[in-house]
Structure 1
């Protein structure tokens, strides 16, 4: 769980990253600033809405932002820039709209039907309500504000 000083750093990193991404016609998916196994990491996840993120994209972004990000953080850290991967996080309401029809895993802040974790198909989004199809008979209405964490679920094809 991020503390408030980490959230402030993330906001400042976002102000550095977004203009660089806009210049490159790329979108910010997420920023993490966290300690993992004794080391600090700044992880920036970006995507190209019209194609794939390449290693060159990541290297260019990293080179353009590393000095400014370095000035924000007084501890030693690793800067990682990458695509969000196939099980990308769903952070904004626009993500749910964009990935309508895809399978997602959703963790809630408070229980609905005695459960906080659900997996289903994103059926629709209406006025900040996510409709998650759990099975053919049950569609769960989830207020966007209740979502703690959500991501796409990739299903491997059976051979």
Structure 2
């Protein structure tokens, strides 16, 4: 994808995120992440929402209807797309500083925009969060601090062990 198309897609993603956040706030919800995936007829606008106590299928349907109508009215998206609204699921995306704070002590998979210690993909336990940076335990004797601005994608890794 050309740089100008990438920039246009990021701008569109920001506009959709702002609109989705207004709708979510009015419904007592929070937008975790808006993604635009694919190209042409295979494009998907995916929105992850949450609220205290969790998200039900009914919550997703109500939010989806409101967002769909608003996107149709705004008419910003210059291609056909499928709108998907989802709960965060067990591999919850981590985007904002408060997401990392909430899940301190949990394990996450992280991909960075730039290399740290010569690599961009990490798996580690979230140790601390401060001033826009997250400290991870990535090996028994190795910690790594990453700027949240440098994180391209981060997701919780579900702990499915029986305790």
CA distance 1:58–1:115, shift in 2 (3 Å): same
CA distance 1:134–1:67, shift in 2 (3 Å): same
Question: How far 1:46 moved relative to its partner?
Answer: 0.4
CA distance in 1, matches of 2:149, 2:78: 33
Which residue pairs with 1:43 in the alignment?
Answer: 46
Residue 119 (1) aligns with residue 123 (2): yes
CA distance in 2, matches of 1:93, 1:133: 17
Correspondence list, 1:140-151, <5 A: 140-151=144-155
RMSD over aligned Cα, in angstroms?
Answer: 2.2
Gap runs ≥5 in structure 2:
none
CA distance in 1, matches of 2:36, 2:116: 30
Count the aligned residue pairs. 158
Gap runs ≥5 in structure 1:
none
Moved over 4 A (4+): none
TM-score (norm 2): 0.86
Residue 20 (1) aligns with residue 1 (2): no
TM-score (norm 1): 0.87
CA distance in 2, matches of 1:20, 1:38: 26
Which of 78, 84, 87 does residue 83 from structure 1 map onto? Answer: 87
Which residue pairs with 2:99 in the alignment?
Answer: 95
Which residue pairs with 1:107 in the alignment?
Answer: 111
